[in-house]
Amino acid sequence: MHVLSIPTWIIHVSSVIEWITAIWLIWIYSEVSRNPAWRWFALAMLPALVGAMCACTWHFFDNAPDLEWLVTLQASMTLFGNLTLCGAAALLWSQRAVNSRPDP
């Protein structure tokens, strides 16, 4: 665990905690607003969380060569997470456009 300094670990762990909190708050907002598109947005955040956990795990084990596959998984989850977030944002955007049209 000596690969990262204590302040860097604090940043890594707090970022993961913040991401979990954001997912939870967006999920609650989807229930309060009764808008299921926000629930999809919360679910779309999960791959990025998995990627962050892969990075933290790899660093926790001192960037062990045996666990280098975690780097590939982390990169894949980041790409997939960006795509799912893009899709969820497009869904929210399309709903905004429909809901903002004036009634005839």
Q: What is the pLDDT of residue 102?
A: 62
| Paired tokens of 3 | 């690969």
Q: Which residues of 41-74 are buried (b: 16+ CB within 10 A; e: fewer)?
A: bbebbbbbbebbbbbbebbeeeeeeebeebeebb
**What's the chain's average pLDDT?**
92
- Stated pTM of the model: 0.86
Q: Does residue 104 belong to any structural domain of this protein?
A: no
- pLDDT tens-digit profile of 73-85? 999 999 999 999 9
Query: What's the number of domains the chain is made of?
Result: 1
